[in-house]
Amino acid sequence: MARTQLRLVSEAHMPQSTRPIIEMKGVSKTYRTRDGDVPSLKPIDFTINEGEFLVVVGPSGCGKSTLLKMVAGLLPPSTGEIRVQGKVIVQPHSGVGVVFQQPLLLPWRSVFSNVMMPVEVKGLDKDVYGKRAHELLEMAGLKDFARKYPWQLSGGMQQRASICRALVHDPKIVLMDEPFGALDAMTREKMNVELQRIQRATGKTVLFITHSIPEAVFLADRVMVMSERPGTIAAVYDVELERPRTLDVMADPRFVALTQKIRHHFYAHGGLD
Amino acid sequence: MAQAKSRLSVGEILQGPWIRPVLFLIALIVVWDLAIRVFNIPPYQVPSPVDVVITLYKEWPLLLREAMPTTGATIAGFLLSAAFGIPVAMLIASSKTVESYVYPLLVFSQSIPKIAIAPLFVVWFGFGIFPKVISAFLLGFFPVVVSAVQGFKSVDPDLLDLARAMEAKRFQTFRMVSLPFATPAIFAGLKVSVTLAVVGAVVGEFVGSNSGIGFVLQRSIGNFELPMMFAALVVLSLIGVILFWLVDVIERVAIPWHASQRHDFVVAA
């Protein structure tokens, strides 16, 4: 195993800009409860570059969802500051689109109308963004389902629609909190391929949260491994696998080696390696 | 071929969901009639169904005329309970402070027997339609509030996070997420409320009125006109059923997306 070169730089790899788009400095989170303070996230410093696909992988309760909510501006950090595109985040902002674990489509709205919800809320031009919504739905393979209602769609389709909704107002950053966690394994793999395609096509910066190690390695430019509560960064790995990746990449020795290495963070506290 | 087809349709009619309660009702009426004959029950205690039907037929114009004020009071009371109940529920659900002040008192107020205080409304508002409306309103109000509070409070917190992530204003979140989410629960409350409003209107008519089905009920029982009393009861139930059905129809139109309505909706689409 040791001979596998994890840091191998491939020629086909897309050159990433190194302009930071999300910067975290000393960001930590402590929840105040009746039984006292519960530290959820130890102070972390981290930077995500523009156009990067960053996947955070960690066990349940390591504060990875907390991290995402803070970047979205839904939760204030206890210490430190988060800057998105240079601005300090204190409340929800239009620079991001969020995809949650559940599709959270409103059952009284058609798929198209659901996708248009951020446009309505923000009072953007309905004609311009309506066209964009249709293009996104087409890209997600939901062209014929625009007029359908969410409950008439399968789970995978619903989640794709919710990704369209996160993209419709053209945010630079998409935050995804275990978006495929509720899907079956096969649909999940298909969705991973789809998401990779969508991300390459749109050039968005993605902060993706998962507890699936293969999913993390398959999708990521960089994988951030988090340790158990209170969460902290255990390691960061570059994934130097060529794009576009197919599901066959999972048999690639570099893929196998990296998943193995990440797995050791969770199962071998004594430090095998 | 044609015969086979028609036999099939007869079978289908017997399978129809509306036919079953009707069949059961007919069975109950037959049992009623038999019980009177077998146990020799005198007509001044329980009238025979035939007598009730005859009275219904003969006195239909009168009953219909008396049904009007009752229906009017019921609808007015019901609309008032919706108009007040839903905003009160919104206030209770949106503010812990308001809830802590108002909700316990509201629950406590329900333990006051409204039927006992109905005469008070006559003292306050006289013999017109007003005491009936108030009485219908008081009975219909509580179920609307309870169901609507439940509806507003059970909005998925993730949905609220979603709206917040979109930078939705408070009112936008309410209009786009909370209100539609609570609508099915509100309708559940409205259905209970409308049937209770009928009761409220009749109670209002019992204590102080010279018109309405409640008045007919009281007068006929005073004169031992049992068939008339039963006929009035039939009319009263019809009012309740029709109003309930109307609310149900409005619900279908208002929330075609809800799980309870989807079957019809898919067929209609």
* DSSP H stretches of helix in chain A: 64-72, 111-115, 117-122, 126-139, 155-167, 185-202, 213-219, 253-267
Residues B76 and B113 in one domain: yes
- Residue B66's pLDDT is 92
Residues B246 and B172 in one domain: yes
Model confidence pLDDT, tens digit, residues B201-246: 999 888 877 888 999 998 998 888 889 999 999 999 999 999 999 9
Residues of A in contact with B177 (CB under 8 A): 106
The answer to which of B5-19, B108-122, B178-192, B247-261 has the lowest mean pLDDT is B5-19
Residues B4 and B87 in one domain: no
Residues from A in contact with B at Cβ < 8 Å: 69, 72-74, 91-94, 96, 98, 100, 102, 104, 106-108, 117-118, 120-122, 149, 151
The answer to which of A66-70, A107-111, A247-251, B256-260 has the lowest mean pLDDT is B256-260
pLDDT band at B53; cut points 50, 70, 90: very high
Answer yes or no: are the C-beta atoms of A104 and A43 closer than 8 Å.
no
A42: its two tokens: 């130890």
Residues of A in contact with B170 (CB under 8 A): none
Which of A99, A104, A148, A178 is most worth mutating to test chain B (most B CB atoms within 10 A of its CB)? A104
Residues B146 and B111 in one domain: yes
Residues of B in contact with A87 (CB under 8 A): none
DSSP 8-state symbol, A77: -
Model confidence pLDDT, tens digit, residues A28-65: 888 888 888 888 888 888 889 988 999 999 888 778 88
- Residue B269's pLDDT is 34
Answer yes or no: are the C-beta atoms of B173 and B164 closer than 8 Å.
yes
- Residue B198's pLDDT is 94
Residues B224 and B257 in one domain: yes
For chain A, say whether B12 makes contact (Cβ under 8 Å): no
Residues of A in contact with B180 (CB under 8 A): 106, 108
Please determine, for residue A255, whether its predicted confidence score (pLDDT) is greater than 50: yes
Residue of chain B whose Cα is closest to the Cα of A166: B166
Residue of chain B whose Cα is closest to the Cα of A116: B166
Residues 145-174 of B with CB under 8 A from A: 156, 158-159, 161-168, 172
- Alpha-carbon span B108 to B56, nearest angstrom: 41
- Compute the count of residue pairs across chains A and B with CB atoms less than 8 Å apart: 49
- Residue A6's pLDDT is 36
- Alpha-carbon span B266 to B262, nearest angstrom: 6
Residues of B in contact with A73 (CB under 8 A): 165
Do A104 and B162 make contact, defined as CB atoms within 8 angstroms? yes
Answer yes or no: are the C-beta atoms of B52 and B183 closer than 8 Å.
no
Position with higher pLDDT, B157 vs A267: B157
With a CB cutoff of 8 Å and minimum separation 6, the contacts of B165 are A72, A73, A74, A92, A96, A98
Position with higher pLDDT, B128 vs B242: B242
Residues B35 and B126 in one domain: no
- Residue B103's pLDDT is 87
CATH number at residue B121: 1.10.3720.10
Please determine, for residue A94, whether its predicted confidence score (pLDDT) is greater than 80: yes
Please determine, for residue A4, whether its predicted confidence score (pLDDT) is greater than 80: no
Residue with tokens 């349709």: B9
B235: its two tokens: 């009319």
- Residue B2's pLDDT is 47
- Which of A100, A108, A151 shows the shortest C-beta gap to B162? A100
Residue of chain B whose Cα is closest to the Cα of A149: B257
Amino acid at B27: A
Model confidence pLDDT, tens digit, residues A56-83: 998 887 788 888 989 998 988 888 899 8
Q: Per residue in A82-101, is it b (16+ CB within 10 Å) or e — as a string?
A: bebbeeebeebbbbbbbbbb
Do A106 and B172 make contact, defined as CB atoms within 8 angstroms? no
Answer yes or no: are the C-beta atoms of A14 and A53 closer than 8 Å.
no
Q: Tell me if the bond preceding A230 is cis, omega within 30° of 0.
A: yes
Residues B13 and B89 in one domain: no
In angstroms, what CA-CA distances link B219 with A5, B126, B212, B229? Answer: 98, 20, 11, 8
Chain A closest-CA separation from residue B163 CA (Å): 8
Residues B222 and B107 in one domain: yes
- Alpha-carbon span B164 to B151, nearest angstrom: 20
Instruction: Enter the pTM of the model.
Output: 0.79
pLDDT band at B86; cut points 50, 70, 90: very high
Q: What is the 3-state secondary structure (H, E, C) of A94-139?
A: CCEEEECCCCCCCCCCCHHHHHCHHHHHHCCCHHHHHHHHHHHHHH
What domain range is B233 assigned to?
45-268
**Phi, then psi, of A225 in degrees rounded to 5:** -95, 130
Please determine, for residue A130, whether its predicted confidence score (pLDDT) is greater than 70: yes
User: Domain count of chain B?
Assistant: 2
Please determine, for residue B161, whether its predicted confidence score (pLDDT) is greater than 80: yes
- Residue A9's pLDDT is 35
Residues B55 and B161 in one domain: yes
pLDDT band at B68; cut points 50, 70, 90: very high
Residues B79 and B26 in one domain: no
Do A107 and B257 make contact, defined as CB atoms within 8 angstroms? yes
Rounded mean pLDDT, B107-129: 83
Rounded mean pLDDT, B23-44: 91
Rounded mean pLDDT, A121-137: 89
- Residue B180's pLDDT is 92
Residue of chain B whose Cα is closest to the Cα of A92: B165
Please determine, for residue B268, whether its predicted confidence score (pLDDT) is greater than 50: no
Return the closest-CA partner of residue A109 out of A97, A100, A118: A118
In angstroms, what CA-CA distances link A17 with A25, A67, A153, A201? Answer: 20, 23, 37, 16
Model confidence pLDDT, tens digit, residues A178-237: 998 888 888 888 889 988 988 888 888 999 999 899 999 999 999 999 887 778 888 888
Do A121 and B257 make contact, defined as CB atoms within 8 angstroms? no
Position with higher pLDDT, A147 vs B8: A147
Residues B179 and B129 in one domain: yes
Residues B62 and B5 in one domain: no
Which of A100, A108, A178 is most worth mutating to test chain B (most B CB atoms within 10 A of its CB)? A108
Ranked by mean pLDDT, the top range of A11-15, B138-142, B209-213 is B138-142
pLDDT band at B6; cut points 50, 70, 90: low
Please determine, for residue A266, whether its predicted confidence score (pLDDT) is greater than 90: no
First to last CA, chain A: 10
Please determine, for residue A91, whether its predicted confidence score (pLDDT) is greater than 90: no
Amino acid at A75: L
